[in-house]
Amino acid sequence: MTKITHTETPKITSTGFIPDENTLQNDSRFRRMQARRQAKREQSIDLLMLLSALESWSFAADHRLPESLATRLDAAVATLRAEVLEGGE
């Protein structure tokens, strides 16, 4: 089934569907949803980069992170990684 989007001039599709104001509203909602997903994905990537930099700094400066913090850091990275990969679909 093809996605129906808003068109400025109403056209009858091959199925006989005539786009109307509801089509415009649905298209607008879809675009806002896509923008929110993209913003969330960008924020997740920024957080991944920040956590990676923190971990790299700790190894480069020969400072060991406490075990509990390192465990939480690994869990956060795994969660963010899954979120970023899921957003790519």
Whether 69 is covered by a domain: the verdict is yes
Q: Report helix angle 67-87 to 21-60, nearest 10.
A: 150
Q: Is the pTM of this model over 0.85?
A: no
Whether the predicted pLDDT of 18 surpasses 60: yes
Helices within 4-66 (DSSP H only) = 21-60
Whether 75 is covered by a domain: the verdict is yes
For residue 35, what pLDDT is reported?
92
Rg of the chain taking only CA atoms, in angstroms: 22
The stretch 41-67 carries a mean pLDDT of: 88
CB 55 within 8 A of CB 73: yes
CB 54 within 8 A of CB 46: no
Whether 19 is covered by a domain: the verdict is no
Whether the predicted pLDDT of 85 surpasses 80: yes
Whether 15 is covered by a domain: the verdict is no
DSSP assigned state of 42 = H
Domain that holds residue 80: 64-89
